[in-house]
A = this chain, B = another copy of it.
Amino acid sequence: MTTEPETEPKTTEPGTGYRLPLLLLAGFRELIEALHLELGARGHPDLRPAHGFALQAIGGAGGGLAAADLATRLGVTKQAAGKTLETLAGLGYISLTVDPSDARRRTATLTARGRAALSHSAAIFDRLGAQWADRVGEQAVAALERTLAELTGPVTLRTDSASWLGGQ
């Protein structure tokens, strides 16, 4: 299809297909590691990537989020979501209050610290993206994002990554 000169590496060249997933993973982990390095230096050393996903989900929800809702958003069981909420509450990133309209639900809302962590994260991600743009050009990063968005559909927060990478 491409009539470009042979400077273009062929992605469909047989036997090289394994590189793409590794590159995607490498890019992801580079960003995430840089984020948490920076977050650690900024007073959030105990925040783990999984926590970030959960915080994002909680912050993204309008009011507050209960364990079952979080479970749905993250793609894990409600027990797992409940543990995560417990941890985040223990670290001071969220507060858990009983839903006045439903005594079974404990809704999670971000604390000031939680909001600070989220806004720090956003700023850091922006900066990391800008650094990438500096290195390979803004267009290349924009194309990267555009292509991936087209291929993977709407962004999701599924966090069962750890489990499907490893067990079961």
Q: Number of residues in A with C-beta < 8 Å to the partner?
A: 73
Which of B1, B11, B22, B145 is within 8 Å of A19, CB to CB? B145
Q: How far is the CA of A152 from the CA of B48 in the complex (A)?
A: 22
Q: Does A101 contact B (CB under 8 A)?
A: no
Q: Report which residue of A56, A133, A146, A156 has the largest number of chain B beta carbons within 10 angstroms of its beta carbon.
A: A146
User: Which one, A2-10, A64-72, A91-99, is touching chain B?
Assistant: A2-10
Report A128 CB to chain B, min CB distance, Å: 6
Structural contact, B129 and A136, CB atoms closer than 8 A: no
Contacts of A125 in B (CB 8 A): 17-18, 20-21
Contacts of A35 in B (CB 8 A): 21
Interface hits, A53-110 → B, CB 8 Å: 56
Q: Which 6 A-B pairs have the closest CB atoms?
A: A17-B125, A17-B126, A23-B148, A26-B152, A24-B28, A162-B166
